[in-house]
Amino acid sequence: MTASSGRLIGVSLGPGDPGWITRRAWQVLQGPARWAYPVRAEGQRSYALEIVERGGLVAPDDAMPLVFPMTRDPATLAVHWGRAAQTVAATLAQGRDVAFLVEGDASTYATFGHLARTVLAETPTAEVETIPGVASFLAAPARVGWPLATQDDALAVLPGGYGMETVERLLPEVDTLVLLKVKPLLEPLIDLLEGQGLHGHSVFVERLGTPQERVVTDIRQLRGEEVHYLSLLMVCKGAGVAADVGGPAR
């Protein structure tokens, strides 16, 4: 790498509460790196940027929105990944670092991993730094007061895109199961957990750490409701029957 090249830095911000931003991430955000942040379409707000703004920081005038559409179409994704990589690479070539804002943890089901690989394909000599952060499936049990796993407990975390067959196969094999982005399968999940007597050992968490946070300890109340894309369902067999927790829960 030449001395004039900048670094691509994945800045993990946690799931929503700016108080969960690490000291290292805060240091980078207040430094000279040029900010970049993901949006789903031109002109839309960035969830990652909102976390930083709630922490009291203001996006610099030269902050770069990078479009990553919500689609599984490979051709569409390839076009947008390529554009984002070229935009980042151009700034790195000027000798300036790029701080890419990441909700949650940059190494866990995050856009940053795809971006970093695409940038390295565009500029193989680029340097990449990943700043670890709080993932939603770590913050949720802390919020509810349940252990995520203890002693020899088996733990599974499923990202968005899983199907009911996968859930039904894994559920008997683990002590704690965390299901991310539950919106598309919420109704059949509730039916499954109630049928197995696990609804009282389950909790639903939505927009964790934000002013709109919602914690629901009786998941049966969610039948027929529209829930947010950023939500998870945690099944913890050893946690005991769910009880109401403080804050915006029901």
Kindly give the confidence (pLDDT) of every residue in the chain, 250 residues in length, as a single tens digit, with 9 standing for 90 and above. Answer: 445 689 999 999 999 999 999 999 999 999 999 999 999 888 889 999 999 999 999 999 999 999 988 777 788 878 888 899 999 999 999 999 999 999 999 999 998 999 999 999 888 888 999 999 999 999 999 999 999 999 899 999 998 788 999 999 999 999 999 999 999 999 999 999 999 999 999 999 999 999 999 999 999 999 999 999 999 999 999 875 544 444 444 4
pLDDT at 206: 96
Query: 3.30.2130.10, 3.40.50.410, 3.30.950.10, 3.40.50.980: which CATH number matches 136-236?
Result: 3.30.950.10
Decide if 135 contacts 105 (C-beta within 8 A). Answer: yes
Boundaries of CATH 3.40.1010.10 in the chain? 7-131
Q: In sequence order, what are the beta bridge partners of 156?
A: 177
How is domain 7-131 classified at the architecture level of CATH?
A: 3-Layer(aba) Sandwich (3.40)
pLDDT at 1: 41
**CA atoms of 177 and 148, how far apart (whole Å):** 9
Read off the amino acid at residue 167.
Answer: V
DSSP letters spanning the chain: --TT--EEEEEE-BSS-GGGS-HHHHHHHTSSPEEEEEESSTT---HHHHHHHHTT----TT-EEEE--S---HHHHHHHHHHHHHHHHHHHHTT--EEEEESB-TTSS-HHHHHHHHHHHH-TT-EEEEE----HHHHHHHHHT--S--TT--EEEE-TT--HHHHHHHGGG-SEEEEES-GGGHHHHHHHHHHTT-GGGEEEEESTTSTT-EEES-GGGGTT----SSEEEEEETTS-S----SSSB-
**CA atoms of 105 and 85, how far apart (whole Å):** 20
pLDDT at 68: 86
* Burial class of 122 by CB neighbour count within 10 A (0 to 12, 13 to 18, 19+): middle
**CA atoms of 211 and 206, how far apart (whole Å):** 11
Q: In sequence order, what are the beta bridge partners of 100?
A: 10, 36
Boundaries of CATH 3.30.950.10 in the chain? 136-236
Read off the amino acid at residue 188.
Answer: P
pLDDT at 240: 56
CA angle 74–72–79, rounded 5-degree value: 40
pLDDT at 217: 94
Whole-structure pTM value: 0.89
